[in-house]
Amino acid sequence: MMLGRQDLLQAWNRKRIRFNPDISPEQVGLASVDLRLGYIFTSLKAQAAVVIRPAHEFDPKDQIETIDLTGEKEPIFRLKPKQFKLGQTLERIRVPANLAAHVNGKSSLARAGLAVHATAPHINPGFEGPITLELFNSGDWELEFFPGKDLVCQVSFWKVQTPVPEIAISRMSSYRGQTVPFPAKKKA
C-alpha cells in the first residue's frame, strides 16, 4: 500500500519518517515528498582501457572525482547533454522498519531531459542518509540547478506488511549512513 498525502503528513508529524534538514508541508504532495538537490556530486573518471566489475568487490575511490559545493556562495550545478553524474538529496532521510520507499524524477524536469535514477529507485526499510541520485541529461540542452534550493526528485513510501527486524537491517544495508554519492559498498 502506497502512502497518500494524509498518511505522509501523519508519519512526518509523528516523526516516523524523518528528514534532516526538515522538509516543509509544501514539499508533501498527493502521494510523495519532493526533495532538494544536495551539494556533493561524483563523476566517473574518463579513462581509456579501464574496465571495472561493479557487481563484484569494487572500491570506486580511484575511478571517481567528487566535488563538494557546500562552501560556495552561489553554488550552481550544471549537467551537459548526455552527461551522467551522481548527486545526493539535500535531505538525509530516515525510513522506519515498516516502510520502504522509491525515489523518482519530477515530470516537469524529465520534460527538459533530466533523469534522477537510472535503475535504482528502491530504498530499503531502515535506510538512513541522503538519497543517491543517478543524474543523467538525456536532452539536448545544458541543465542548471541550484543545490540546496531546487526540488529535483520525489520520494514515495510503501507499507511493509511485516516490519524488518533491526538485526536484518544492520546486516543487509549496503549504503546505510552513506555520506558521498559513490561510497565503497559495505560487505554483508
Pairing, β 84-94 against β 128-137: antiparallel
In percent, the amount of the chain with pLDDT more than 70 equals 84
Tell me the per-residue pLDDT of 138-151, one tens digit each, with 9 for 90 and over. 999 999 999 999 99
Omega prior to 130 cis, within 30 of 0: no
* 5-45+60-172 has CATH 2.60.90.10 classification: no
Tell me the per-residue pLDDT of 56-88, one tens digit each, with 9 for 90 and over. 776 667 777 889 999 999 999 999 999 999 999
Find the length of the chain: 188
Domain ranges of the chain: 5-45+60-172
Report helix, strand or coil for 8: helix
Report the C-alpha gap between 133 and 77 in whole angstroms: 13
Active site residue 57: no
How high is the mean pLDDT of the chain? 87
Phi, psi of 27 (to 5 degrees): -80, -10
Identify the CA nearest to 134 among candidates 101, 108, 109, 103: 103
Task: Indicate which residue of 128, 134, 142, 144 is catalytic.
Answer: 134
